[in-house]
Structure 1
Amino acid sequence: MLDLAIKGELLNACKKYAEQRLATATQAMHHAQQAANEEGKSSAGDKYETGRAMAQIERDKAAQQAQEALKLKQALDHLDGLHHHQKVTTGSVVATAHYNFYIAIGAGKMTVSGLDFIVVGPGSPLGKSLMGLTVNDAFTFNNQHHKILQVL
């Protein structure tokens, strides 16, 4: 059985994940901007414009990724790692015989305290199917039927 302390550890791991994504996107944005600034005028004017345009596209992609990472961070800031839930909701930890889930953000598989968790957003198909369920309720994941053993 999982204890309530795992929720705080999962929340912290998700925050680190979001911060890492934000830092990576910010760094990529900075590098793309530098590349655009350093693109020198050559005798072939079209080559200069193409190089700047490509760098601008890369910068815009990185800016969008940074914005998405910031949204993840903001969503996590609203979660409480200490509250015990009776029904599955955003911030819940769900245990089954085969999988452990954390309903927070779409981060995929994470290992915390030696345990594997599938971290999903509440708006994902799996997240939506889990929302509102309680202990002993059943759901389908990976074409397998699962029974909820614990909700934190």
Structure 2
Amino acid sequence: MNKQELLNLIKTKIADKIQSFENLIVETRASSNDTKSSMGDKYETGREMLQQEVNNLQRQLNESLNQQSVIRKISAEPSDKVQVGALIRTDKGLFYVTVSVGEIISGDQKIMTVSAESPLVKAILGKRSGEEFVINNIHQKIIYIW
């Protein structure tokens, strides 16, 4: 499994999210400028709602920028234990300890990205191939670590 290729997929996914949030913020601010009017409180309420939407988008943008910062520090080097940057195959699936961007697909493999703060990673941090663990009453065995 090519971890560098997976890292590049994640980086692209995050960059696309950042671009999308930036575009939405620009569009929402433009909408806010369009509502300027002397019609009274009705338009002020609308502008306030648009400002709240901009604030929400800005928060999501900041989260994506933080993910981008974290992913830049992750190495594609092989791992022999569960740590940040490890790709783990259990008897239940494939997990990549990076940042959480959901499921990515490489070839015919579905890989779930998980952050180091996730309960799963906290439960298996430092474990090696062949070791077992239980999370949410589900017993799993680590088959291989890249």
TM-score by length of 2: 0.93
Richer in strand (by share): 2
> Is 1:112 equivalent to 2:80 in the alignment?
no
Which protein, 1 or 2, shows the higher relative CO under an 8 Å CA cutoff with sep ≥ 6? 1
What secondary structure sits across from 1:136 in the alignment? coil
- Provide the rounded CA distance (Å) in 2 between the counterparts of 1:50 and 1:109: 39
User: Aligned-pair distance for 1:141?
Assistant: 4.3
Deviations 1:99-144 (Å, cap 9, x if unpaired)?
0110001122211121011110010111211211101111224632
Per the alignment, residue 122 of structure 2 pairs with 128
- Provide the rounded CA distance (Å) in 2 between the counterparts of 1:142 and 1:116: 21
Per the alignment, residue 72 of structure 2 pairs with 77
What secondary structure sits across from 1:80 in the alignment? coil
Aligned length: 146
> Is 1:37 equivalent to 2:33 in the alignment?
yes
What secondary structure sits across from 2:104 in the alignment? strand
Per the alignment, residue 15 of structure 1 pairs with 11
- Pairing partner for 1:148 from 112, 119, 142: 142
Q: Following superposition, which runs of at least 4 residues in structure 1 exceed 2 angstroms of deviation?
A: 140-144
What secondary structure sits across from 2:18 in the alignment? helix
Q: Which amino acid aligns with 1:117?
A: I
CA contact (8 A) 2:102 2:114 kept: yes
Unaligned stretches of 5+ residues in structure 2: none
Unaligned stretches of 5+ residues in structure 1: none
What is the percentage of aligned positions where both structures have the same residue?
28
- Provide the rounded CA distance (Å) in 2 between the counterparts of 1:20 and 1:142: 33
CA RMSD of aligned residues (A): 1.3
Q: Which amino acid aligns with 1:138?
A: E
